[in-house]
Amino acid sequence: MTTTLKTALIQQNKSTDLDKNFSDSLNAIRQAADAGARLIVLQELHRSLYFCQQQDVDAFDLAESIPGPSTDALGELAKSLNVVIVASIFEKRAAGLYHNTAVVLDSDGSIAGKYRKMHIPDDPGFYEKFYFTPGDIGFTPIKTSVGKLGVLVCWDQWFPEAARLMALAGAEVLIYPTAIGWDPRDDEAEQRRQLDAWVISQRAHAVANGVPVLSCNRVGHEADPGPSGEIHKAGPGIDFWGHSFIAGPQGEFLAVASEDKEEILYADVDLNHGENVRRIWPFMRDRRIDHYQDLLKIYRDD
């Protein structure tokens, strides 16, 4: 039996207008649903510009609770359209405690579950450790009306352990809301190397685990807002490279977006195909868990 799921990734450019940003996301969700999509994924921190280019205490005002205004509106829309939505939220859990959280709204409008970003980067232009507490929920797939979703977020996509743990827990698809781009000062060759590494890493997760991968990135240039309290000098900004893509369980491209345009990317995903792939490539069967203890070490000094 074939279980085909029409999926949609919403790749967008963002501005300082929060209301317009959110309205644009809602309208894109409606458009994707009208085209027949049942699973719709928004990019990382879709409600605002990528504010982590600087360390600015005022940016914490962007955070909201879960449930909260965004999840309420997205839940109502999911129910009215009979779709499942994966949305990235800057979560205020408590005073001084914030997370980068992906929320899954099921087709009945309920919050099916959430995932708090586990791997938090801290690099020039990506000062996320200032804002986000590492997740404490772990790597648990979220059960929905369209299947078990292994939701991870951006920097998580570089870690094979995260993908593997989601797959071991029964995830039928891996989903990565993302905000990644180039430093405009990098030359074209370096930009291509970075993009290729990003795509290869995620396609490898599909291959190694026998599951489809959905990666939804933002697009367009976002200027560095400049220093807050002279903490960091203003940088050149980020050219978010788009290239959202959907890959099958052998890493095959099912759909790829452009690097410079807003668009809705569609692909039909066969959720049963992964089992057939695992039968011919039985990586799960041949894992040597009796010899993997050193994976729990930061580094082997011997």
Give residue-wise pLDDT tens across range 210-234: 999 999 999 999 999 877 655 567 7
Q: Which of 91, 154, 216, 222 is catalytic?
A: 154
Q: Which of 52, 117, 128, 172 is catalytic?
A: 117
Distance (Å, rounded) from C-alpha 128 to C-alpha 154? 11
Q: Which of 6, 44, 91, 128 is catalytic?
A: 44
Whether 91 is catalytic is no
Q: Which residue has the tokens 């970075």?
A: 194
- Report pLDDT for 134: 98
Mean pLDDT value across residues 88-97: 97
Q: Does the predicted TM-score (pTM) go above 0.75?
A: yes
3-state secondary structure of 228: coil
3-state DSSP of 3-22: CEEEEEEEECCCCCCHHHHH
10-44 confidence digits (pLDDT tens): 999 999 999 999 999 999 999 999 999 999 999 99
Domain extent listing, the chain: 4-285
Whether 44 is catalytic is yes
Q: What's the N-to-C CA distance of the chain in angstroms?
A: 51
Q: Which residue has the higher pLDDT, 233 or 143?
A: 143
Tokens in use for 74? 């997205």
CATH architecture of 4-285: 4-Layer Sandwich (3.60)
- Report pLDDT for 1: 45
3-state DSSP of 76-106: HHHHHHCCEEEEEEEEEEECCEEEEEEEEEC
Q: Where are the alpha helices (DSSP H) in the chain?
A: 18-34, 69-81, 160-168, 188-209, 273-280
Q: Which residues are within 8 A (CB) of 159 and not within 5 positions of it... i.e. 6 or more apart?
A: 119
Distance (Å, rounded) from C-alpha 278 to C-alpha 283? 7
Whether 154 is catalytic is yes
